[in-house]
Amino acid sequence: MAYEYIFGIFACFLGFVLFYYNTRTNKTAAAAASASAVVSARNGEVTEGTATDIIIVGAGVAGAALAYTLGKDGRRVRVIERDLNEPDRIVGELLQPGGYLKLIELGLEDCVDEIDAQRVFGYALFKDGKNTKLSYPLENFHSDVAGRSFHNGRFIQRMRHKAASLPNVSLEQGSVTSLIEEKGTVKGIQYKTRDGQEFIAYAPLTIVCDGGFSNLRRSLSNPKVDVPSCFVGLILENCELPHANHGHVILADPSPILFYPISSTEIRCLVDVPGQKVPSVSNGEMAHYLKTMVAPQIPPQLYTAFITAVNKGNIRTMTNRSMPAAPQPTPGALLLGDAFNMRHPLTGGGMTVALSDIVLLRDLLRPLHNLHDASALCRYLESFYTLRKPVASTINTLAGALYKVFSASADKAREEMREACFDYLSLGGAFSEGPISLLSGLNPHPISLVLHFFAVAIYGVGRLLLPFPSPTRIWTGARLISGASGIIFPIIRAEGVRQMFFPATVPAYYRAPPVD
């Protein structure tokens, strides 16, 4: 009896151990499955899908490039895009050489092939009947390196197809309505298909790239969107630019006019109209404005094609937006592209900034095998916001400053600055090579930008003081320097002086990857 009693106790103990082990094993397996599965809620039903590491909201330039980049690194990526049809936009059509170099780094350079993209080698500036040509400093690069201009939609579709060709990347059409948060951590998204069905998707990291009109950015940042002007877009057909394979900027009144090729037979024209309202297209006011105010200011070689395009009536408009990056670090989520940071599109720097950010983010994520520690990942990725600043802020600041300098003004000092800028760039050599290196993204250094900007201002003052420094000229020169400071310093302050010029002094600059 004693042996049976002892054996019974031992059997109970062993049963308890086995029960506990089995329960723990089942819970662990269930937790692992839950963490790695994409869960969909459909009319109240929950079903499991394919495991996902990263959800990307939006498949524009930033989203599609990011999906391919992360997918190529072995991440399981799920992309939700509102409309997978080919986009039809009037911006995002000029990729600077610096952006093309980033495209090469990402392995996406073939996306400008087979879309009739045009090589761009620099800019031509026009003012009051004068013109000057500014060439990109490409001597030290491979012969294939240059700017590229194209139809934006064709470029995006090429990148989408390349991303979707990876077995671990899926592209779905749907409108993301909200981020799913639990205790301050983003766990995934809720989205709706075109037929109205609602789904939920989970992943340890959600990256929002849903463009300039993002409805999610306020959950992840403190945005201050400014609308300085609007673009009026036309396509000129079967004509030639005064300088082949160059972007053309006309310093017109009241603000710049742009021309650049987007195919072998088409030239994009963008007319900048200051403010948030443009003449009505529907009642003919816009056509009248373009014919009477704009047409007399464009190069004679383009006049007939311009009038023909206006008469054809395919006139498009778009608001230009500027928004400094104002991140609000949130565990489980990140902003990217125009949803995160915008600048005036005058200089065509938006895609360069986005692609540069993607290269940086890819390199930061590469050492990480486990993305599930949201707090540690969020703290680590704060370094992204600091490391991106020198490049992004240089391009952003240049875009904002050049737009203001290139726009006409009733202020005599501002007009002198505008004239000085044109003449300074016309000097050639280092005077044109430095600024065009900044604009092209080939040398995006903040200090170089500030030095050239104030060199233009000082050059303008010197022109005023020669041959005789009258009191009126001295006063105008002083206001020119003051006006230049009033243009650039507010932009720099919005970008962040410390992050822009002294990023190594920011603690986040040194963040090491969290231990898996």
Question: Residue 30: pLDDT above 90?
Answer: no
Query: What's residue 238's pLDDT?
Result: 87
pLDDT for residue 302? 97
User: Would you kindly state where each structural domain of the chain is located, as residue ranges?
Assistant: 2-35, 54-115+150-224+323-387, 227-320, 392-503
- DSSP one-letter code for 90: S
Q: What average pLDDT does range 407-427 have in this prediction?
A: 96
Q: What is the DSSP string of 205-256?
A: EEEE---TT-SSGGGTB----EEEEEEEEEEEES---SSTT-EEEE--SSS-
Of the candidate ranges 8-22, 201-215, 368-382, 430-444, the one whose mean pLDDT is the lowest: 8-22
- The CATH code for residues 227-320 is 3.30.9.100
Q: pLDDT (tens digit, 9 = 90+) per residue, 320-330?
A: 999 999 999 99
Kindly tell me if the per-residue pLDDT of 4 is higher than 50: no
Assign domain 54-115+150-224+323-387 to its CATH superfamily: FAD/NAD(P)-binding domain (3.50.50.60)
For residue 324, give every residue at least 6 positions away whose Cβ sits within 8 Å of its Cβ, in sequence order, or none. 224, 341, 396, 494, 495, 496
CA atoms 221, 224, 230, 236: torsion sign: negative
- Tokens describing residue 449: 């930008």
Q: Predicted confidence band at 33 (pLDDT cuts at 50, 70, 90)?
A: very low
pTM of the full structure = 0.89
- Lowest average pLDDT, out of 48-62, 63-77, 200-214, 397-411, goes to 48-62
pLDDT, position 120 = 98
pLDDT at 268: 98
Helices 471-495, 446-465: crossing angle, 10 deg rounding: 170
pLDDT value at residue 50: 55
The pLDDT confidence band at residue 42, using thresholds 50, 70 and 90, is very low
Q: What is the pLDDT of residue 515?
A: 82
Share above pLDDT 70 across residues of the chain, in percent, rounded to a whole number: 90
Residue 467 has a pLDDT of: 87
Query: Residue 72 pLDDT > 70, yes or no?
Result: yes
Q: Band of the pLDDT at 351, cuts 50, 70, 90?
A: very high
453 and 445 Cβ atoms separated by less than 8 Å: no
Contact, 182 vs 89, CB < 8 A? Answer: no
Is the pLDDT at 40 greater than 60, yes or no?
no
Kind of pairing between the strands at 247-250 and 185-192: unpaired
* pLDDT exceeds 60 at position 274: yes
Average pLDDT score over the chain:
91
C-alpha dihedral (267, 272, 273, 279), degrees to nearest 10:
10
